[in-house]
């Protein structure tokens, strides 16, 4: 993510906003009067920042700083201003603290600008690796223009697999010590392994917040989460316990994509990660966000019996192909959970090609779902689960524009949808219909750099599809969900799959291919060959291979085609190169000169009678992108 130091001063800032441009300037140009400190590569960055007196501005010059101990900001009125390319690197660090946070903020009036953090991981399930942590009692905290990535759990302890947790950014208010006025702005939070936890979360007694202009992507659990009721105690008064809720905040102008627990071993193949999730929060506005390719686009629920998520306003958001579970889901999933009530949904667009647009679980009171657009090409737009009472559903106001007739409610308007165009690069969806929906859905502000470096006028991954039939795919693929530079003369990469007689090959709809194989003595590792053509490494540095195995714990290996020096890609499996579930799993492969012509995929069958000696691997799709 390209970043720059911003000029200090209201006139300069106003001018930048007016023209949509932020200038690159040196630290010397932004330095303000008062107590200042400089940090250079090779300095002990944690000691200098942690030891700064109240009122100090610290200027950090570009470079990679090795993480040794947490940066801990306990004094008030501290600003940390960093040059572009300032990275705190936690790779190869043995984490010992149970809550190891690379940056901890306790003080009031703290600003951190442009400090990237990466690489902190642990295989110890007792340790919770974290990028940024804002602690109870802190007020007026801003974290902006920061990249948080490659942080989380190294899932090695299979006997305690469900105990792993990690966070990219966490704001954690205590029942008796509120955090107020927090802003998380223009951050890129990605490629995290989170166990049972969340990418960017505000938990508990957090009063007044803005989560704006961020890009959250490619993580194996919830994207943005607003939590309540996790720190309840009989030792607290009822009033104190009621303060244990994230509240009075805005989640606005964010891009969230590729959020799924399907490859997270702590979920055992279940796809239930929300792009945006409110679990017990209250009085929150969720507006102008774009969520794509997550298990659930948006979930409003409460995981605590007798507790409610309420007073949430959801307006002008776009949810595209969030279909691991459903587009939007409200209410606790079981009677042992809590409920959702007094929430309003209006002028949102939900588009799915499988599973439902809107799911009702345990709800109460009056919810209003009106004037939204629900388009589904394969299923009914609504789903009611057994935990949702008919009485509660009758009290819910439902009146929307839907793509097909339904018996769910008589107050919807069925629209005629000729085609739908999805532009993932610019975060837009265009509906060719008998009604104009130009005022619906998100309008992502392109000036924020974090939101995918989205530039107006450039399109990528455009798809035109009808609402009644899924678009067919061919054996060759060049679909790409990750932005790359547009080039009219560029040749898009393709692939071709072939396999020896060790495999029985069956072609499936949508271009998928299914390979059946079985144990044959000691000769088990026979490769499937994937040949790439026209891969321009200046445009693409990732190949995304989506596979589905017929059983858990199938041994699977992917290498380059150089048998003398193969490079194995194992880090996306649950461990020891085993597939962790029978659900779809996407493996991201770094494309280099060594493998841009193709890859080998190896499968190793088991002799267990449970699987009748034959197993299957389905290669669902291969796409190319850039990270």
- Give the pLDDT of residue 402: 97
Q: Give yes or no for a contact between 519 and 554, defined as CB atoms under 8 angstroms apart.
A: no
pLDDT at 142 over 80: yes
**Has this prediction a pTM greater than 0.75?**
no
- Give the pLDDT of residue 465: 45
CA–CA dist 218, 598 (Å, integer): 23
Residue 552 vs residues 301, 381, 503, 587: alpha-carbon distances, Å: 30, 32, 19, 16
Structure-token pair, residue 299: 């979930």
Region 153-158 average pLDDT:
95
Nearest to 268 by CA among 129, 192, 161: 161
CA–CA dist 60, 41 (Å, integer): 8
pLDDT at 415 over 90: yes
- Model confidence pLDDT, tens digit, residues 57-85: 999 999 999 999 999 999 999 999 999 99
CA–CA dist 263, 218 (Å, integer): 11
- Give the pLDDT of residue 561: 79
Average pLDDT, the chain: 84
Per-residue confidence at 452, pLDDT binned at 50, 70, 90? very low
Nearest to 147 by CA among 170, 174, 169, 171: 169
Nearest to 101 by CA among 112, 244, 521, 109: 112
pLDDT at 449 over 50: no
Per-residue confidence at 7, pLDDT binned at 50, 70, 90? very low
- Give the pLDDT of residue 306: 87
Least confident of 68-72, 329-333, 342-346, 401-405: 329-333
Q: Give yes or no for a contact between 276 and 252, defined as CB atoms under 8 angstroms apart.
A: no
CA–CA dist 506, 515 (Å, integer): 7
Region 138-146 average pLDDT:
97
pLDDT at 345 over 50: yes
pLDDT at 441 over 50: yes
What does R_g of the chain's alpha carbons equal in angstroms? 25
Per-residue confidence at 555, pLDDT binned at 50, 70, 90? confident
pLDDT at 445 over 80: no
SS3 of residue 5 by DSSP: coil
Least confident of 125-129, 179-183, 475-479, 549-553: 475-479
pLDDT at 483 over 60: no
Structure-token pair, residue 545: 């291979």
Q: Compute φ and ψ for 610, nearest 5 degrees.
A: -60, -35
């Amino acid at each position: 993510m390209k970043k720059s130091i911003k000029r200090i001063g209201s006139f300069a800032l106003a001018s930048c906003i007016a023209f949509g441009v932020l200038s690159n300037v040196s630290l010397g140009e932004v330095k303000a009067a008062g107590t200042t400190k400089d940090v250079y590569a090779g300095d002990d960055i944690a000691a200098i920042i942690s030891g700064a007196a109240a009122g100090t501005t610290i200027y950090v010059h570009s470079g990679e700083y090795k993480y040794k101990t947490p940066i801990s900001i306990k004094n008030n009125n501290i600003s940390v201003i960093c040059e572009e390319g300032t990275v705190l690197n936690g790779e190869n660090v043995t984490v010992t603290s149970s809550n190891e946070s690379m940056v901890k903020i306790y003080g009031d009036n703290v600003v951190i600008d442009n400090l990237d953090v990466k690489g902190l991981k642990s295989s110890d399930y007792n340790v919770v690796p974290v990028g940024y942590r804002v602690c109870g009692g802190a007020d007026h905290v801003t974290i902006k223009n920061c990249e948080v990535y490659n942080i989380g759990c190294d899932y090695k302890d299979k006997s305690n697999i469900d105990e792993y947790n990690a966070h990219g950014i966490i704001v954690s208010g205590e029942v008796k010590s509120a955090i107020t006025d927090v802003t998380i702005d223009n951050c890129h939070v990605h490629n995290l392994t989170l166990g049972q936890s969340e990418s960017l979360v505000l938990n508990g007694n957090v009063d007044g917040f803005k989560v704006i202009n961020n890009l959250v992507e490619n993580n194996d659990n919830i994207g943005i989460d607003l939590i309540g009721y996790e720190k309840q105690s009989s030792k607290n008064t009822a009033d104190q316990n009621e303060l244990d809720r994230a509240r009075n905040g805005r989640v606005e102008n964010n891009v969230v994509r590729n959020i799924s627990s399907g490859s997270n071993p702590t979920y055992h193949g279940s796809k239930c990660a929300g792009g945006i999730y409110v679990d017990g929060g209250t009085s929150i506005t969720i507006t102008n966000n774009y969520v794509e390719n997550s298990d659930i686009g948006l979930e409003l629920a409460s995981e605590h019996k007798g507790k409610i998520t309420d007073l949430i306003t959801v307006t002008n958001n776009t949810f595209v192909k969030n279909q691991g579970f459903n587009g939007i889901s409200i209410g606790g999933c079981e009677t042992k959970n809590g409920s959702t009530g007094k929430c309003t949904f209006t002028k949102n667009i939900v588009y799915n090609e499988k599973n439902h647009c809107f799911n009702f679980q345990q709800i109460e009171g009056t919810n209003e779902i009106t004037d939204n657009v629900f388009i589904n090409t394969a299923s009914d737009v609504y789903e009611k689960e057994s935990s949702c009472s008919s009485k509660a559903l009758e009290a819910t106001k439902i009146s929307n524009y839907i793509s097909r007739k339904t018996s769910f409610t008589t107050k919807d308007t069925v629209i005629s949808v000729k085609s739908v165009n999805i532009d993932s690069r610019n975060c837009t969806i265009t509906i060719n219909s008998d009604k104009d929906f130009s005022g619906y859905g998100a309008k992502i502000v392109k000036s924020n750099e974090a939101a995918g470096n989205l530039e107006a006028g450039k399109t990528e991954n455009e798809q035109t599809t009808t609402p009644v039939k899924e678009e067919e795919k061919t054996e060759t693929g060049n679909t790409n969900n990750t932005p790359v530079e547009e080039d009219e003369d560029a040749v898009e990469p393709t692939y071709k799959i072939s396999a020896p007689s060790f495999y029985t090959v069956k072609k499936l709809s949508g271009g998928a291919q299914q390979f059946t194989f079985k144990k044959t003595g000691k000769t088990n590792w026979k490769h499937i060959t994937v040949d790439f053509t026209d891969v321009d490494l200046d445009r693409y540095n990732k190949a995304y291979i989506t596979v589905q195995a017929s059983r858990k714990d199938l041994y699977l290996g992917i290498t380059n085609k150089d048998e003398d020096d193969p490079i194995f890609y194992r880090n996306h499996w649950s461990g020891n190169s085993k597939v962790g579930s029978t659900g779809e799993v996407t493996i991201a492969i770094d494309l280099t000169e060594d493998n841009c012509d193709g890859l080998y995929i190896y499968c190793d069958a088991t002799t267990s009678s449970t699987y009748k000696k034959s197993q299957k691997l389905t290669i669902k799709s291969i796409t190319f992108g850039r990270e």
